[in-house]
Structure 1
Amino acid sequence: MPYYESPVDGTRLHYVDHGPASGAVAVFVASAYLGHEMWEHQMLPLAEAGYRCVGLDRRGHGRSDDVWSGYDLDTLADDLQGLLDHLDLRAATLIGHSVGTAEVVRCLTRHGSERVARIALVCGVAPGIMRSQGLPGGVDPALARADEEFFRRDRPAWFTHFADAFFAVSSAGNEVSDAYVRHLVDRCLVATPRAATGVRSVVTGLDLTAELPAVDVPVLVVHGTHDTSAPLAHTGERLARLVPGAVLRVYENAGHGLFFTHARRLTADLRQFLGAAAATAAVTGICRMLAAAGIGG
Structure 2
Amino acid sequence: MSFIKTTDGTEIFYKDWGPKDATPIVFHHGWPLSADDWDNQMMFFLEKGFRVIAHDRRGHGRSSQTWTGNDMDTYAADVAELTDALDLKDAIHIGHSTGGGEAVHYVARAKPGRVAKAVIIGAVPPVMVQSDKNPGGLPITAFDELRAAQNANRSQFFHDLAAGPFYGYNRPGAKISEATIHNWWRQGMMGGAKAHYDCIKAFSETDFTDDLKAIDVPVLVMHGTDDQIVPYADSGPLSAKLLKNGTLKSYDGFPHGMCTTHPEVINPDILAFIQG
TM-score for both structures, normalised by structure 1:
0.88
Secondary structure of the equivalent of 1:189?
Answer: helix
1:55 — aligned with what? 54
Asked if structure 2 preserves the Cα contact closer than 8 Å seen for 1:134 and 1:207, the reply is no
Output the CA distance in 1 between the equivalents of 2:173 and 2:269: 19
Deviates more, 1:109-118 or 1:125-134: 109-118
TM-fit CA distance, 1:103: 1.0
Q: Point out where structure 1 has 5 or more consecutive residues left out of the alignment.
A: 277-297
| Distance 1:5-1:267 versus aligned 2 partners, 3 A rule | same
The aligned runs of 1:1-297 (5 Å cut-off) are: 1-6=1-6, 8-163=7-162, 164-171=164-171, 174-276=174-276
Asked if structure 1 preserves the Cα contact closer than 8 Å seen for 2:124 and 2:204, the reply is no
Asked if structure 1 preserves the Cα contact closer than 8 Å seen for 2:136 and 2:234, the reply is yes
Asked if structure 1 preserves the Cα contact closer than 8 Å seen for 2:57 and 2:63, the reply is yes
Output the CA distance in 1 between the equivalents of 2:229 and 2:206: 14
TM-score for both structures, normalised by structure 2:
0.95
TM-fit CA distance, 1:147: 2.8
Output the CA distance in 2 between the equivalents of 1:184 and 1:162: 9
Cα displacement string for residues 208-249 of structure 1 (whole angstroms, at most 9, x for unaligned residues): 123311111000011101101101100111111111221111
| Distance 1:274-1:173 versus aligned 2 partners, 3 A rule | farther
Output the CA distance in 2 between the equivalents of 1:168 and 1:75: 31
| Distance 1:172-1:47 versus aligned 2 partners, 3 A rule | farther
Asked if structure 2 preserves the Cα contact closer than 8 Å seen for 1:168 and 1:253, the reply is no
Output the CA distance in 1 between the equivalents of 2:174 and 2:186: 21
Cα displacement string for residues 15-68 of structure 1 (whole angstroms, at most 9, x for unaligned residues): 001122222110001001111110111001210121110011111111111222
Deviates more, 1:137-146 or 1:218-227: 137-146
Output the CA distance in 1 between the equivalents of 2:21 and 2:172: 40
Letter in 1 for 2:216: D
Letter in 2 for 1:82: E
| Distance 1:182-1:225 versus aligned 2 partners, 3 A rule | same
Cα displacement string for residues 101-142 of structure 1 (whole angstroms, at most 9, x for unaligned residues): 111111122334430001000110111111123212111112
Q: Point out where structure 2 has 5 or more consecutive residues left out of the alignment.
A: none
Output the CA distance in 2 between the equivalents of 1:187 and 1:132: 32
Secondary structure of the equivalent of 1:53?
Answer: strand
| Aligned Cα root-mean-square deviation (Å) | 1.6
Output the CA distance in 1 between the equivalents of 2:32 and 2:191: 5
Output the CA distance in 2 between the equivalents of 1:43 and 1:264: 13
| Distance 1:188-1:124 versus aligned 2 partners, 3 A rule | same
Output the CA distance in 1 between the equivalents of 2:176 and 2:78: 33
Runs of 4+ in 1 over 3 A off after TM superposition: 170-174
Asked if structure 1 preserves the Cα contact closer than 8 Å seen for 2:143 and 2:200, the reply is no
Deviates more, 1:143-152 or 1:166-175: 166-175
